[in-house]
Amino acid sequence: MPPQAAKHSMRTANDVIHRILWDDCIPQAEVIVGYLDRFVGTVERDFAKFNWGDIATLSQNETAIPQHRIQYFKWRDEVIWDKRVRLDRVFGSSGHDVVTFSPATAASSPSSAVAPVNAAASHISTDCANTLVCFRIMDPAVVDACKQLQAAIIAANPRLAPAALAPARFHCTLLRLRLQSLNIVQRLTSDLVNEVAIVKRVLVECQGLLHTLCTSSVKFEGVSAFRNRVIYAKAAPHDGLLTLVATLKARLLSAGIALVGNYDPYEPHIQLFKLTTDHRRLGTKINAPCIFALSTTPDISHLMGFTRS
């Protein structure tokens, strides 16, 4: 009997959770989680109803779920990830077609999740990044400093607590990209080069610059806010990091990669809080003057270095 072909590893529930939390193109209010309840079996609940942060930080009014109990995710009533049948339409790791996510206003029915091959190109969202180039914040001292900043801000405004990012999500974005080869419609209608492979190649080629240009640690000091959406730890000026980002931009643009949603000049930062539509609908607001006042106090103005990989 011939040996069976080895199955490719499938992206985990944790990967899907992080994608939904990070990707603004996936409306969290439209995602359903199917999970096993010990007493009643499979239960469905809105993704936004759960606290996906550290279980130890849960309040008595919040709910969390062990990730090993998650069976599937639905988006607009269509299953997009199901470990029971090895289905992954979020990343495509199971070999299935990848869903083209779009904001709630772009479509109102499950059939729009993957558009037909002859769909008009104008229906494809091209103004939203679907890939981040970033470095994760993993140095314990930096993570602790970020958590202290979060605690101080929550003490000043407890309603921001549900919007706090979990430590595992701390990162500093370098660039935001729009990779068309992740879009199943465009992949079927044209002979696109594998843009993911191109980006990986550019990053490998530029990795030496990270150690050359960033010989000193990037330091983050104080906090700031972006509109009524994000509170972040802001970085001190760092010429090496600015040069690295400019080089990556030039290399990726010359390779035909679309850069979407980036700011010029580049301002490195670490997101600490991110208000979703649901948070804002409940009246949660960022009090910018209060945030700025906190950032100038001696016990909050931490200088935080990061460990380069």
pLDDT, one tens digit per residue, over 135-153 is: 888 888 888 888 888 888 8
Q: Is the model's pLDDT at 22 over the cut of 70?
A: yes
Number of domains in the chain: 2
**Are 98 and 217 in a shared domain?**
no
- Residue pair 279/207 in contact (Cβ under 8 Å)? The answer is no
Does a structural domain hold residue 75? yes
What pTM was computed for the model? Answer: 0.53
Cα–Cα distance, 292 to 304 (Å, whole number) = 18
Chain centroid, CA 233 distance in Å: 17
**Are 137 and 69 in a shared domain?**
no
pLDDT, one tens digit per residue, over 43-98 is: 888 888 887 765 555 555 556 778 889 999 999 888 899 998 899 999 988 888 88
pLDDT on residue 224: 82
pLDDT, one tens digit per residue, over 208-239 is: 777 777 766 777 777 888 877 788 888 888 88
Cβ within 8 Å of residue 96, ≥6 positions away: 87, 88, 89
**Are 264 and 227 in a shared domain?**
yes
Q: What is the CATH classification number for the domain harbouring 181?
A: 3.90.1140.10
Does a structural domain hold residue 190? yes
**Are 149 and 282 in a shared domain?**
yes
Does a structural domain hold residue 305? no
Comparing 24-33, 42-51, 288-297, the range with the smallest average pLDDT is 288-297
State which of 61, 89, 114 marks the end of a domain.
114
pLDDT on residue 90: 92
What domain range is 69 assigned to?
Answer: 13-114
**Are 85 and 158 in a shared domain?**
no
Q: What is the helix (H) or strand (E) element at residue 230, kind and residue range?
A: strand 230-235
Q: What is the helix (H) or strand (E) element at residue 223, kind and residue range?
A: strand 220-226
The pairing of strands 258-259 and 230-235 is unpaired
pLDDT on residue 291: 62
State which of 79, 114, 149 marks the end of a domain.
114
Query: CA-CA distances (angstroms) from residue 113 to 90, 121, 277?
Result: 11, 15, 21
